Structure 1
Amino acid sequence: MRKVIVTEFISADGIAEVEKLTGVAWNAEMDRFKEDELADSGAMLLGRVTYQIFAASWPHETGDFADRFNALPKYVASTTLGQLDWKPAQRLEGPLPEAVRKLKQDTGGNIYVHGSISLAQQLLHHGLVDRIRLLGYPLAVGQGKAFFAPGEQQRFELLSAAPFSNGVVALEYAPIT
């Protein structure tokens, strides 16, 4: 069975709005973290906003990483998005929990949720997330969209933690059910 793995950039105070995570230089350790994710990935599951952001930029990127990233099947959780131009892509049909359970039963590599905070929160709420991979930035931003939904308590088992030389910490958790 495929796993659903949520991957996020997050501040020390739990904010996952990547545009607010400034002042930390990207480095080779972060490259390796993302390369490992891509090697493990068989598909992407994205919300509408993240799909639109990625579709506007990734097809114009070049290189081995971009080629592999662009070639991944993309599943989009949206009831309002029209045409899906960043191929291969398809819209999830039916209620989200059932559609994702069906995806998990398919063959292929793991399904990565990049960004897509609202989608990630829904998946966590329905118990559909198998792993959470975070790049924790050494800063507090004070306000913004929290990664974890307000009022929802969840427990996690720490699977790994690796500090990087730039102060970022790579964390991997499994939900405890």
Structure 2
Amino acid sequence: MRKLIITEFITVDGIAEHERLPSVVWNEAMTKFKEDELVDSGAMLLGRVTYEIFAGHWPSETGDFAERFNALPKYVASTSLKAVDWKPAELLDGPLPEAVARLKQQAGGNIYVHGSVSVARQLLGAGLVDRVRLLVYPGAAGRGKQLFPSDAPVALELVSAVPLGNGVVAMEYRPVAKA
């Protein structure tokens, strides 16, 4: 069975909005973290906004990383999009938890949710997430979109925490099943 893995850039106070992240120097350790994710990826699951941002950027990028990233199957959760042009891609049918449960049963590599906070929150709430991978930036935003909802606690077990040498810590968690 495929694993569903959330990957987010996040502040220490849980805000997952790119424009609210403190400035850090991107370094080789961060590049390696993202390259390792790409090697482990069999597909991407994206919400509409993240899909549109990525589709507007990645097809024009070149190099090994971009070629692999662009070639990954993309599953898009959207009720407003009627078509997806960044191939290979398909729109998911039906309620998100049921569609993702079906995807996890199919053959193929792990499915990564990049960004797409509302999608990630729904899947955490539905108990469909196998791992949460965070690049935790050294700063608090104070306000913004939180990855973890304040009204629905999510129990997590730490798998690893690795400082990346620029103030960012790569953290991986395993959700703890509800009793």
Assess same fold via TM > 0.5.
yes
Specify the SS of the correspondent of 1:112: strand
Which position in structure 1 is the counterpart of 2:173?
Answer: 173
Distance in 1 between residues matched to 2:12 and 2:154, nearest whole Å: 18
Distance in 2 between residues matched to 1:111 and 1:63, nearest whole Å: 22
What are the equivalent positions in structure 2 for 1:80-91 lying under 5 Å apart? 80-91=80-91
What are the equivalent positions in structure 2 for 1:134-153 lying under 5 Å apart? 134-153=134-153
Structure 2 gap segments, 5+ residues each? none
Specify the SS of the correspondent of 1:159: strand
Look up the equivalent residue of 1:142 and give its one-letter code: G
Distance in 2 between residues matched to 1:65 and 1:19, nearest whole Å: 23
Tell me the CA shift for residue 141 of structure 1: 1.2
Distance in 2 between residues matched to 1:116 and 1:166, nearest whole Å: 25
8 A Cα contact 2:12 2:140, kept in partner: yes
Distance in 2 between residues matched to 1:91 and 1:80, nearest whole Å: 10
RMSD: 0.7
Distance in 1 between residues matched to 2:146 and 2:98, nearest whole Å: 25
Tell me the CA shift for residue 150 of structure 1: 2.3
TM superposition outliers: structure 1 runs of 4+ over 6 Å: none
Which position in structure 2 is the counterpart of 1:44?
Answer: 44
Distance in 2 between residues matched to 1:5 and 1:75, nearest whole Å: 14
Which position in structure 1 is the counterpart of 2:156?
Answer: 156
Tell me the CA shift for residue 164 of structure 1: 1.2
Q: TM-score, normalising length from structure 1? A: 0.98
Q: TM-score, normalising length from structure 2? A: 0.97
Distance in 2 between residues matched to 1:2 and 1:149, nearest whole Å: 25
Specify the SS of the correspondent of 2:150: coil
Tell me the CA shift for residue 54 of structure 1: 0.3
Structure 1 gap segments, 5+ residues each? none
Distance in 2 between residues matched to 1:141 and 1:100, nearest whole Å: 31
Distance in 1 between residues matched to 2:93 and 2:74, nearest whole Å: 13
Distance in 2 between residues matched to 1:57 and 1:25, nearest whole Å: 21
What are the equivalent positions in structure 2 for 1:12-161 lying under 5 Å apart? 12-161=12-161
Tell me the CA shift for residue 98 of structure 1: 1.0
Distance in 2 between residues matched to 1:150 and 1:118, nearest whole Å: 14
Distance in 1 between residues matched to 2:149 and 2:67, nearest whole Å: 33
Distance in 1 between residues matched to 2:23 and 2:79, nearest whole Å: 36
Report percent identity of matched pairs: 67
Number of positions where the alignment pairs a residue of Structure 1 with one of Structure 2: 177
